[in-house]
Amino acid sequence: MTETKKLNLYVLSDSIGETSFKLAQAVMAQFPNVETTYNRYPFIRNEKQINEVVQRAHDEGGLVIHTLATKGLAALVHQACVIAHVPDFDLMTPVIQEVTKQTGEMPTYEAGAIHHLNEKYFDRISAMEFAVLYDDGKDPKGFLEADVVLLGPSRTSKTPLSLFLAGRNLKVANLPLVPQAHIPEELWKVDRKKIIGLTNDVEVLNNIRRERMIAYGLNPDTTYSNVDEIRNELKFAHDLYEKLGCMVINVAQRSIEETATLILEHLGLDDYRPNAMK
C-alpha cells in the first residue's frame, strides 16, 4: 500500500489572505495524492510575526507561500526563510516589479487593495438590483434615490439603458410614458439634470413595435403599432420633457452604448466610456 504524502503550507498575507490561499489551493489541486495542511496567517504586519511563522515552518517542515504587498515585508520573509533553510515563494513581488519596469508606474504597496475592486463589484450588483426594482415605474419613490431617471414611450430602450448604466455603478429608475397617464409627484422633485427624456422616430418605432408583435405571434396592426398613436405618444413625451426642462435624446440611430455615453457626459461622468469599465 502506497504511503500518503503529506505537505505543510504556510500561507502568509498582509490582508485576509484569500489570494494566497486560493493560489496555494490551485497548485495543490495538481497533486491529488498529497495530503495538504494549510496554515494560514493573515494580517502579517511585522518581523516578529514573520519570524514566528518561519520558525514553525522550520520545526515542522513545509513551504512558505506569501502575497505581501506592504513594502519590505516580502523581503523580510525571504531573509528569514534563507536563514532557517525553509523554501519560500513570493507570489506577488516578481510580477509587481515587472509591471513597474514595463509601465514606469510605482505600486501603492497597499495591503488588501484588491478588495476595493470587490467593493466596486458589489456596488455594481446593488445598482443592477436597483434597476430591476425600479424598472417601468414600479415604485416612484425610486426616482428620489436614483442617479438617473429615464423617461420615454414604449420601445425607446429604457430597460436596456438602465441595466447598461447600472453596469457603470449608477442607480437608474425609469418610467414608461403613455398619453393621459398619471405622472408621479416624485418626478417633479428630482434634479432636472438627472432626468433623461428618450424619444424615437415615428417610422423606426412603428417597425420595432410591429416586429415585436409578430415575434409574439400576434397581429402587428394594433393600436400599439399605429402610426397616429405613436405620434400622440411622442408628442405627449416631448411636452413633458419641455415642462421638465430635461435632456432629450433620440435613440433612433444610436446604439445603447452611444446613448449611454451621451448620458454619462451630460452627468459629468465622461471618463466612463463604453468598453472601458472601471
The answer to whether the annotation marks 20 as part of a ligand binding site is no
The answer to whether the annotation marks 87 as part of a ligand binding site is no
Identify the pLDDT of residue 119: 66
Query: Is a pLDDT exceeding 90 seen at residue 37?
Result: yes
Query: Is a pLDDT exceeding 90 seen at residue 113?
Result: no
State pLDDT tens for residues 169-206. Answer: 999 999 999 998 889 999 999 999 999 999 999 999 99
State pLDDT tens for residues 135-167. Answer: 999 899 999 999 999 999 999 999 999 999 998
Identify the pLDDT of residue 141: 93
Q: What is the mean pLDDT of the chain?
A: 90
Domains, the chain, in order of start with CATH, read 5-103 (3.40.50.2300), 116-266 (3.40.50)
Residues 6+ apart with CB under 8 A from 92: 66, 67, 68, 69, 74
Query: Is a pLDDT exceeding 50 seen at residue 278?
Result: no
Identify the pLDDT of residue 51: 95
Percent of the chain with pLDDT over 70: 93
The answer to whether the annotation marks 155 as part of a ligand binding site is yes
Identify the pLDDT of residue 163: 94
The answer to whether the annotation marks 152 as part of a ligand binding site is yes
Cα 159 from chain centroid (whole Å): 18
63-75 burial: b if 16+ Cβ within 10 Å, else e: bbbbbbbbeebbe
The answer to whether the annotation marks 62 as part of a ligand binding site is no
Confidence of residue 272 (pLDDT cuts 50, 70, 90): very low
The answer to whether the annotation marks 157 as part of a ligand binding site is yes
The answer to whether the annotation marks 103 as part of a ligand binding site is no
Give CA–CA dist 79/77, Å, rounded.
5
The answer to whether the annotation marks 268 as part of a ligand binding site is no
State pLDDT tens for residues 71-107. Answer: 899 999 999 999 999 999 999 889 889 988 999 988 8
Identify the pLDDT of residue 85: 96
